[in-house]
């Protein structure tokens, strides 16, 4: 080997501490080389969950059809469709399905034997693409040894069938069949998906965001591309007041204050008292509550929530105005509307036109200083800021979003982001100015992410960089130049106070009209350092209206928008209940979902919501670990180890002496 630089020698010395001998380094090279020849793990892509926990968990459990596909691969025509459906449902919901089967099955012991053998066959198949070491780490503690025995062939056992049947018979005999089945089903769920991508908007109107975040904290491998709703909550957790006001207003609007009160323990009593005292005689009809589902709310409770809704909306418009005036470079003066109200006439001027207001009762607004909070509003906000910043569970969740998330991601040749890349009408990247410097394309993404992190992690309430970063999270939530928003305005004020549908309209970024053009998609992929010939863009954010003839597959499959209505609020418009993606070693598949009708129907009727599966890209050659980003890392590791091996053999380094 050639002469090593001091830095190379220093690195090899550090590496030698991990692999102190020729056999140790050699074994690791062999191990890594073997891993490179395994099939690429399956990636699961979900977007725009919007707090819909039940549907999210069902899609996660069935791997968007990946579990059923493994059952079909393993059993082919040797099992009836009925048996396959029962087996799949058992894998999704083992405990609940066992409750039903154990009550109705006449020969439970025989059913246990058949089912255990089938589950072990499926488990063998899903484990076959991983090393034994990786599978071993995923095994449940209580049954690790037994499962490992059953899923790994043992050449030294002469009568294998008797050996394995003996294990299964003993499991049944000692009354451990039920917990063993549950453990194997959970293991299959764990192994069928190697990595999960969440392409934004975990939070919003649904009531299950806390439960979803708790689960993601324990998920074996996940990344998150922040959506505008996520960034809103991230800003709120950092203490940005306009973000806090938006979060509470949205929760109030959709009858979802329980996420704040029960899920995170945020005390809303001061807000409720203020709202009742201030708007007690106000019918607040403009601020009715859009309760999702079939919730029945007592009128007195609804009246209080409507007043809280209005109180927080007014506070929000004031705080947003303050944020806009702090940052002229945000170029949002057109969203300063409280000073455009004629409080005597009850009208508002928007874009040069005068419109009558739907609500003219503003007891806390001083027309001369419309963006100043009243003393009572300041007190309410001070308490809310303290509660958000000191909520342990919320902070844990938001730290996880920062740790496991980013505003965009390049992963195995594909580009993931929630919204768009802001474009001009001619298809060029729109330039946005911050702190006297212009940014566009990838640089715009990088700048915004950098400051969002500063807004959360920097310390000191008066730290200017921290304050700028906190305000950047609000910018990302609602500015037309934000890549996670992608509209010319957020017309919240207009939707409440003005009846004109035209003034309420939120025009989409040119991106959404231009992404059918191959040159645009290629330009974006190139900007982010990816190969346009082989890469895809995957984003969500804009619900795809299948009922109106829209399709999630753009530019011949080069770009996919997978927000199809996961949230119940969008399903009447979209006609479906969302899209997900599966990217395995054979290609990329788009899955269309039906609406989840509840846990009972899924278990009893064995229904699955995977409605249609479209192959977006079928690979001519199967992908292996060697073809992935991790494969590149492993190849570099092998090169380093080969260099270490040569250093041992040429005497540059000495092997460690065994003690």
Sign, CA dihedral 132-137-138-141, equals: positive
Q: Is the CB of residue 307 less than 8 Å from the CB of residue 282?
A: yes
Residues 396 and 321 in one domain: yes
CA distance 310 to 337: 16
Whether residue 514 lies inside any domain: the answer is no
Angle at 482 between CA 476 and CA 485, to 5 degrees: 80
Whether residue 428 lies inside any domain: the answer is yes
Query: Distances from the Cα of 373 to the Cαs of 270, 407, 419, in angstroms?
Result: 16, 33, 33
Least confident interval from 143-147, 247-251, 562-566: 562-566
pLDDT tens digit string along 421-438?
999 999 999 999 999 999
> Is residue 575 pLDDT above 80, yes or no?
no
Tell me the two tokens of residue 546.
């299948």
For 251, what's the count of Cα atoms within 13 Å in the CB-facing half-sphere? Answer: 25
Mean pLDDT for 493-508 is 95
Tell me the two tokens of residue 49.
């969950």
Q: Which residue has the tokens 């969302």?
A: 578
pLDDT tens digit string along 370-382?
999 999 999 999 9
Which domain does 169 fall in, by range? Answer: 64-195
- How far is Cα of residue 504 from the mean position of the Cα atoms in its chain? 29
Residues 359 and 484 in one domain: yes
Whether residue 358 lies inside any domain: the answer is yes
Q: Classify 200 as helix, strand or coil.
A: coil
Give the end of a domain, one of 477, 497, 517: 497
Residues 228 and 185 in one domain: no
Residues 188 and 122 in one domain: yes
Q: Which residue has the tokens 């690790």?
A: 144
pLDDT tens digit string along 34-85?
999 999 999 999 999 999 998 899 999 989 889 999 999 999 999 999 999 9
Residues 185 and 214 in one domain: no
Mean pLDDT for 114-131 is 94
Who contacts 481 (Cβ-Cβ below 8 Å, separation ≥6)?
A: 331, 422, 430, 432, 444
pLDDT tens digit string along 331-359?
999 999 999 999 999 999 999 999 999 99
Residues 228 and 284 in one domain: yes
> Is residue 591 pLDDT above 80, yes or no?
yes
The DSSP code sequence of 527-576 is HTT--TTT--EEE-SS---GGGT--SEEGGGTEEE--S--SHHHHHHHSS
Give the end of a domain, one of 475, 497, 519: 497
Whether residue 513 lies inside any domain: the answer is no
> In what helix (H) or strand (E) does residue 526 lie, and over which residues does it extend?
helix 518-527
> Is residue 126 pLDDT above 90, yes or no?
yes
Give the end of a domain, one of 497, 524, 555: 497
Who contacts 513 (Cβ-Cβ below 8 Å, separation ≥6)?
A: none
The confidence score (pLDDT) of residue 568 equals 63
Residues 340 and 472 in one domain: yes
Residues 317 and 374 in one domain: yes
Tell me the two tokens of residue 296.
């029945």
Whole-model pTM over 0.85: yes
**Percent helix, percent strand, percent coil in the chain, to nearest 5:** 55, 10, 35
Q: Which residue has the tokens 């005497």?
A: 651
Query: Distances from the Cα of 47 to the Cαs of 328, 400, 508, 611, in angstroms?
Result: 33, 17, 19, 17
Residues 406 and 431 in one domain: yes
The confidence score (pLDDT) of residue 576 equals 52
> Is residue 602 pLDDT above 70, yes or no?
yes
Look at the chain and report how many structural domains it folds into.
3
Summary mean pLDDT of the chain: 92
The confidence score (pLDDT) of residue 158 equals 53
User: Quick one: 21 exposed, middle or buried, by C-beta within 10 A (0-12, 13-18, 19+)?
Assistant: middle
Q: Which residue has the tokens 């469709």?
A: 81
The confidence score (pLDDT) of residue 550 equals 76
Residues 434 and 365 in one domain: yes
The confidence score (pLDDT) of residue 155 equals 55
Tell me the two tokens of residue 370.
């419309």
pLDDT band at residue 618 under the 50/70/90 scheme: confident
Whether residue 523 lies inside any domain: the answer is no
Whether residue 377 lies inside any domain: the answer is yes
pLDDT tens digit string along 395-429?
999 999 999 999 999 999 999 999 999 999 999 99
The confidence score (pLDDT) of residue 248 equals 98
Whether residue 546 lies inside any domain: the answer is no
pLDDT tens digit string along 303-335?
999 999 999 999 999 999 999 999 999 999 999
Q: Classify 158 as helix, strand or coil.
A: coil
CA distance 66 to 64: 6
Residues 173 and 303 in one domain: no
Whether residue 149 lies inside any domain: the answer is yes
User: Quick one: 259 exposed, middle or buried, by C-beta within 10 A (0-12, 13-18, 19+)?
Assistant: buried
Residues 283 and 185 in one domain: no
The confidence score (pLDDT) of residue 594 equals 76
- How far is Cα of residue 214 from the mean position of the Cα atoms in its chain? 12
């Amino acid at each position: 080997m050639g002469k090593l630089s001091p830095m190379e020698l220093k690195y090899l010395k550090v590496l030698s501490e991990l692999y102190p001998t020729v056999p140790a380094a050699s074994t690791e090279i062999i191990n890594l080389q073997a891993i490179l020849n395994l099939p690429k793990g399956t990636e699961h892509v979900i977007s725009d969950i919007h707090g819909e926990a039940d549907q999210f968990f069902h899609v996660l459990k069935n791997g968007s059809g990946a579990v059923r596909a493994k059952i079909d691969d393993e059993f082919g025509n040797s099992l009836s469709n009925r048996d396959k459906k029962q087996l799949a449902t058992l894998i999704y919901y083992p405990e609940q399905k066992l409750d039903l089967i154990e009550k109705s099955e006449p020969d439970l012991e025989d059913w246990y034997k058949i089912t255990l053998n089938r589950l072990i066959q499926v488990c063998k198949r899903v484990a076959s693409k991983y090393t034994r070491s990786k599978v071993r780490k995923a095994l449940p503690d209580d049954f690790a040894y037994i499962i490992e025995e059953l899923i790994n062939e043992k050449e030294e056992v002469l009568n294998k069938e008797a050996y394995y049947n003996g294990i299964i018979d003993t499991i049944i005999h000692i009354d451990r069949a039920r917990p063993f089945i549950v453990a194997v089903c959970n293991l299959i769920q764990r192994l069928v998906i190697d990595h999960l991508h969440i392409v934004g908007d975990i939070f919003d109107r649904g009531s299950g965001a806390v439960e979803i975040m708790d689960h993601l904290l324990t998920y074996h491998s996940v990344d998150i591309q922040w959506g505008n709703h996520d960034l809103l909550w991230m800003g709120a957790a950092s203490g940005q007041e306009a973000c806090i006001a938006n979060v509470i207003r949205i929760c109030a609007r959709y009858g979802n204050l329980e996420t704040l009160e029960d899920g995170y323990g945020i005390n809303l009593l001061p807000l409720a008292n203020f709202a009742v005292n201030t708007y007690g005689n106000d019918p607040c009809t403009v601020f009715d509550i859009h309760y999702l589902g079939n919730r029945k709310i007592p009128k007195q409770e609804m009246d209080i929530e409507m007043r809280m809704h209005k109180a927080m909306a007014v506070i929000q418009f004031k705080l947003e105005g303050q944020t806009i005036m702090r940052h002229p470079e945000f170029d949002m003066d057109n969203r300063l509307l409280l000073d455009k109200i004629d409080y005597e006439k009850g009208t508002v001027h928007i874009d040069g036109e005068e419109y009558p207001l739907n609500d003219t009762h503003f007891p806390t607004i001083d027309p001369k200083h419309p963006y100043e909070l009243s003393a009572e509003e300041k007190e309410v906000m001070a308490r809310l800021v303290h509660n958000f910043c000191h909520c342990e569970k919320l902070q844990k969740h938001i730290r996880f979003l920062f740790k496991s998330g980013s505003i965009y991601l390049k992963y195995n040749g594909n580009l993931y982001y929630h919204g768009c890349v802001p474009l001009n009408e001619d298809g060029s990247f729109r330039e946005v100015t911050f702190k006297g410097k212009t940014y566009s394309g990838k640089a715009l993404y990088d700048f915004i992410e950098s400051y969002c992190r500063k807004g959360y992690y920097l310390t000191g309430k008066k730290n200017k960089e921290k304050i700028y970063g906190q305000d950047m999270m609000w910018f990302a939530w609602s500015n037309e130049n934000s890549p996670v928003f992608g509209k010319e305005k957020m017309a919240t004020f207009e939707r409440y106070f003005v009846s004109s549908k035209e003034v309420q309209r939120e025009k989409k970024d040119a991106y959404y009209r231009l992404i059918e053009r191959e040159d645009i998609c290629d330009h974006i992929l190139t900007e982010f350092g990816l190969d346009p010939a082989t890469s895809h863009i995957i984003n969500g954010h804009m619900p795809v209206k299948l009922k109106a003839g829209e399709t999630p597959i753009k530019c011949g499959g080069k770009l996919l928008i997978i927000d199809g209505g996961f949230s119940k609020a969008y399903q009447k418009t979209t006609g479906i209940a969302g899209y997900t993606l599966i990217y395995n070693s054979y290609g990329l598949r788009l899955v269309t979902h039906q609406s989840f009708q509840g846990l009972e129907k899924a278990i009893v009727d064995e229904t699955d919501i995977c409605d249609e599966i479209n192959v977006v890209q079928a690979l001519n050659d199967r992908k292996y670990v060697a073809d992935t980003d991790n494969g590149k890392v492993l190849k570099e590791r092998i090169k380093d180890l080969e260099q270490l091996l040569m250093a041992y053999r040429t005497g540059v380094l000495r092997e460690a002496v065994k003690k």
